[in-house]
Amino acid sequence: MKKIKLNNGVEIPIVGTGTNTYGKEENQYSGALRGDTQEIDWAIENGYRHFDSAQVYFNEEVLGEGLKKSSQPRENYFITSKLNTFKGFGGTDWAHAEIKKSLEKLQTDYIDLFLIHSPWDNNEEILEAWNILEEYYTRGVFKSIGVSNFKKGHLDLILEKGKIKPAVNQIESHVGQWNEELIAYNKIHDIATVAWSPLKGIDENAKQVLEKIGNQYGKTYAQVILRYQIERDVIVIPKSHNKDRQAQSLDTFDFELTANDRERIAAL
């Protein structure tokens, strides 16, 4: 597995799995928890060691239980979680309480990467939240800290007034919304990019183009997309409720796209 070295020296597997519907009834985001860890079990068997979670997914305990019962030691896993800021910031006490809950649900005493999940319209509060993440990073509870869905202005705020540079910015990047400009901006500032929902946005026309490219290498259209992102040094966290398709997403390191392939994909 290829790894990306973050700006603090921590290494993150370039392919992980999203988890936002794992362990839920009918595989639905808003579904109740089923009480099993099936998708996590499959992912571990397939070789995944990087798992992306978040408080707002309301299923961190599924990941925590799945990893705990596996045969792998904790240090073999890279866990990401995120502070739920979609409704803004609830204050210092709230943040500490939510972080404590995440650690308990994940059944771990440290988190490899912890992110502010989304910016909101209050720069002072964003900095306050970032300072809290910095505190946990300094204590070693978070091995790396970063942000999610931050645009240039939000990043500038942290870069100018924070004490620690974000290691990661997790953003939208997929067919039809490659987000090249923001990825380039992340790279300029030595901030790694993670693409959420990297297989989103593929319509039938795009699928046909990708399948033609994939046929040259014996790969699926999804593998071609993931390879394209990987070759841009973009970390990807695809998700599947199918064990075989989970495995396919990891099977992306034995071929390389040509310049022409990349141009055709970039134009989708």
- In degrees and rounded to multiples of 5, residue 210 shows phi and psi of -65, -35
- In degrees and rounded to multiples of 5, residue 227 shows phi and psi of -65, -40
Of the residues 22, 29, 48, 57, which is catalytic?
Answer: 57
pLDDT value for 105: 98
Q: How many CB atoms lie within 10 A of CB 45?
A: 12
Coil, helix or strand at residue 3: strand
pLDDT, one tens digit per residue, over 46-70 is 999 999 999 999 999 999 999 999 9
pLDDT value for 214: 97
**Of residues 15, 55, 4, 12, the one with CA closest to residue 228:** 15
pLDDT value for 147: 98
Q: Which residues contact 21 (CB under 8 A, 6 or more apart)?
A: 27, 28, 29, 31, 239, 241
Question: Helices marked H in 76-140 — which ranges?
Answer: 92-106, 123-139
Please name the helix (run of DSSP H) or strand (run of DSSP E) that holds residue 85, with its range, or none: none
Q: Of how many residues is the chain composed?
A: 268
pLDDT value for 78: 98
- In degrees and rounded to multiples of 5, residue 131 shows phi and psi of -60, -35
pLDDT, one tens digit per residue, over 183-223 is 999 999 999 999 999 999 899 999 999 999 999 999 999 99
Q: How many CA atoms lie within 13 A of 203 on its CB side?
A: 4
pLDDT value for 50: 98
pLDDT value for 185: 97
pLDDT value for 241: 97
Strand partners of residue 83: 116
pLDDT value for 235: 98
pLDDT value for 131: 98
pLDDT value for 210: 97
pLDDT value for 168: 98
Domain ranges in the chain are 3-202+235-254
pTM: 0.96
9 exposed, middle or buried (CB, 10 Å; 0-12, 13-18, 19+)?
A: exposed
What residue type is 7 in one-letter code?
N
Strand partners of residue 79: 51
Q: How far apart are CA 228 and CA 263, in angstroms?
A: 10
Task: Clarify whether 185 is annotated catalytic.
Answer: no
Fold assignment, 3-202+235-254? TIM Barrel (3.20.20)
Q: Can you list the residues of the chain whose pLDDT is less than 50?
A: none
Query: CA dihedral in degrees (205, 209, 214, 216; nearest 10)?
Result: 150
pLDDT value for 266: 94
